[in-house]
Structure 1
């Protein structure tokens, strides 16, 4: 997983020995108790001991969909395993009973999934081991970073222009930046959404979706150390002065939501509203830190969404900027 340091922690969901990283909530769906998320990039982490398999059961929330949601499974330092949710085996097998570090990430879905009104996100209703085994909740040892944005931050279209399988929330710039900094990755991003524009799947604009995971469910409370905002690409149809005002309102809203977090804003990679953001950064330098992106040599899948190489470029540049601005000791664990 290209990440050096994890620490043991307390379980924080329905299942003992499991740490849910990101915006997960407990829900009852189809008369079953589940842990549920609508955010690509949300993950669960654990360490196994004295067992050669892990029991897994995901609830199929979109049984007849052409493009099924997908998860990415990382076991120790092995290559990831991508699976459609409706094809996840009941048992995840290990070669030996030695301890294994397991990370499972909500990796892909479709813009057609009604995540806001119809509970078509990712739901897990069992993760356990035989009575002879044990699982221990673990989490990244470093800071907690909340990444707020649209499809680019969510991890859409990283591999190819095919829904779900073409997404790579586990490998996009947010995931890679968090791993480089040994940080927790709290993903708060939805496809096509903006400050003013609604996203796909019934998702409202950012001022609403930062506080909720669907139309009726408040997001769990977190206390991130850093917030990184990358939004505005989908607001290009709106007047620059209006969007600038919305940026300022949004930054203040995020500061109220996460009062102890350092607030950073990326200029969208297509340079949308660069001038407006630069003007705000000059006037409100104590409110947020602006990160320039014009000279980053990003490559794209479709001219808008960074591909795997472009994601690595962004993660490298963003990590460098953060370390330079906040100091290497700040991120050292």
Structure 2
């Protein structure tokens, strides 16, 4: 986590000393109170003091799934730990009682997980330290960026073509861009979804999923400084003018939902609807800032989803575009 700077903040969930970054909500599942998310990339952040142990427990929301959800754990500047959520030990142990900065991210799941109708997202039911220790909530020190998109933005297929373990929401372009800019990462993205195309796991189209985290649960209110949209790849089978109209309607909805945010739109990396998006940017320059991507030398896992190297290339290019357009001082912390 060396790219990001962190500051102390208030806890914002069910557990003292923990900051939930992303779209988390308190829920009751299987008669247990949990913090719950359906979004890959959602994270919890904290600092431990005066303890060499952290107790945590995740609820098994997909007991019969072949590919279990995975989390990524970052401790200080050490390499990440990738674990299946249902196999996480009840305690993490550290070498010393010195303060430790910890970030836990929903890293991978499966397209078969019914996140919309059957509460098969990620649920954490307990996180604490022994009574001799302390947990302090922390968050990235900079701006807040909402990343809206499909599987590419969610972090699918970054490592390999295997569900869950092949995903890397903690390392995809959105995660890396946020860390380079010391920004909070609010991920709003689902596999296979689009403006007109439904996602996997029962997820509806983008105008619906930006407002809800499942079929009955409104998304928590956030006030991002920047919104970055990368969607349209899954809408290629629809007629271009119809999709262009849906883009415009969606951009207006996002402006109404996040009225204080700058709205940035990436041309999909496969250049789907590039012409239609350029036309909209010319017609509505006050509504969106269009970011061209055709010259970025992106590498892919499967020709569609950026791999780890491609994610790094996107993050470097995207962060530079944002710094140039809004000014380095805008992102300074």
TM-score in terms of structure 2 length: 1.00
> Could you say what the CA RMSD is over the residues aligned between the two structures, in angstroms?
0.4
**CA deviation vs aligned residue, 1:190-229 (integer Å, no higher than 9, x gap):** 0000000000000000000000000000000000000000
Write out the 4+ residue segments of structure 1 that deviate beyond 4 Å after TM superposition.
Answer: none
Give how far 1:3 is off: 2.5
Q: Name 1:38's counterpart in structure 2.
A: 38
Structure 2: state its 5+ residue gaps: none
What does residue range 225-304 of structure 1 map to in structure 2 within 5 Å?
Answer: 225-304=225-304
Aligned mates of 1:115, 1:266 — CA distance in 2: 26
List aligned pairs for 1:197-216, cutoff 5 A.
Answer: 197-216=197-216
Quick check: 1:312 aligned with 2:312?
yes
Whole-angstrom distance in 2 between the partners of 1:211 and 1:177: 23
CA apart distance, 1:64:
1.5
Q: Match of 2:51?
A: 51
CA contact (8 A) 2:51 2:97 kept: yes
1:67 deviates by 0.2
Alignment of 1:1-333 (within 5 A): 1-333=1-333
**SS of structure 1 residue aligned to 2:72:** strand
Where 2:162 maps in the other structure, the secondary structure is coil
Give the CA deviation at 1:5. 1.2
The Cα of 1:2 is off from its aligned counterpart by 2.5
Secondary structure of 2:147's partner? strand
CA distance in 1, matches of 2:248, 2:172: 27
Distance 1:201 1:209 in 2: 12
Gaps of 5+ in 1: none
SS in structure 1 opposite 2:145? strand
Distance 1:7 1:51 in 2: 20
Aligned-partner Cα distance in 2 for 1:233–1:92:
40
| Partner Cα separation in structure 1 for residue 210 and residue 93 of structure 2 | 37
How many residues in Structure 1 have an aligned counterpart in Structure 2? 333
Partner SS for 2:293: coil
Contact 2:4 2:181 in 1 (8 A): no
Distance 1:182 1:234 in 2: 30
Query: CA deviation digits over 1:231-287, x for unaligned, max 9?
Result: 000000000000000000000000000000000000000000000000000000000
